[in-house]
């Protein structure tokens, strides 16, 4: 009878840890985004805008690595008191492919086309991602 009282807490502990392990494995497959190199902001027309027939206010060029297997959405970009929602951002991958407002897996050169907002070149901006990650965009 005493063996049962010893085994019951161990079984409860094991059953309680299983959901935590499943959650940990699922989160790690979503990946992490890293910025490689410098981040540049600009205001002039770029050829991809004419090709897609769109007119962006600003653009941000960066190289990013998404270590996961699926795209990670950009929720919003914040700079000072200005918040740019994700639906005002279009991601162009490697200069040719439109990718909605998400960062695709792998290492890619990204152009973020921003509609209706201004980015100040001298200030740092912060990009909030769908996986809960916060990226600092330093425009120096």
For the chain, which residues make up each domain, given as ranges?
Answer: 1-30, 31-137
Query: What order do you get walking across the sheet with 89-93 strand by strand?
Result: 33-42, 58-66, 106-114, 89-93, 97-98
Q: Domain 31-137's class? A: mainly beta
* List of residues 6+ apart from 41 with CB closer than 8 A: 58, 59, 60, 61, 119, 121, 139
Q: What percent of the chain has pLDDT over 90?
A: 21
Q: Where are the alpha helices (H) located in the chain, listed in sequence order?
A: 2-30, 47-52
pLDDT grade for 123, boundaries at 50, 70 and 90? confident
pLDDT in tens, 78-102: 998 999 998 889 898 988 778 888 8
Length of the chain: 140
pLDDT grade for 23, boundaries at 50, 70 and 90? low
Distance CA 4, CA 130 (A): 46
């Amino acid at each position: 009878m005493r063996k049962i009282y010893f085994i019951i807490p161990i079984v409860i502990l094991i059953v309680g840890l299983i959901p935590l392990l499943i959650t940990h494995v699922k989160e790690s497959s979503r990946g992490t985004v890293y910025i490689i190199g410098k981040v540049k902001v600009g205001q002039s027309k770029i050829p991809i805008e004419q090709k897609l027939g769109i007119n962006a206010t600003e653009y941000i060029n960066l190289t990013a690595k998404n270590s996961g297997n699926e795209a990670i959405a950009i929720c919003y970009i914040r700079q000072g008191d200005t918040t740019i929602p994700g639906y005002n951002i279009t991601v162009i991958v490697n200069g040719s492919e439109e990718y909605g407002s998400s960062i695709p897996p792998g290492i890619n050169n990204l152009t973020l086309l921003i509609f209706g907002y201004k980015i100040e070149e001298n200030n740092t901006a912060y990009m909030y991602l769908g996986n809960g990650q916060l990226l600092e965009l330093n425009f120096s």
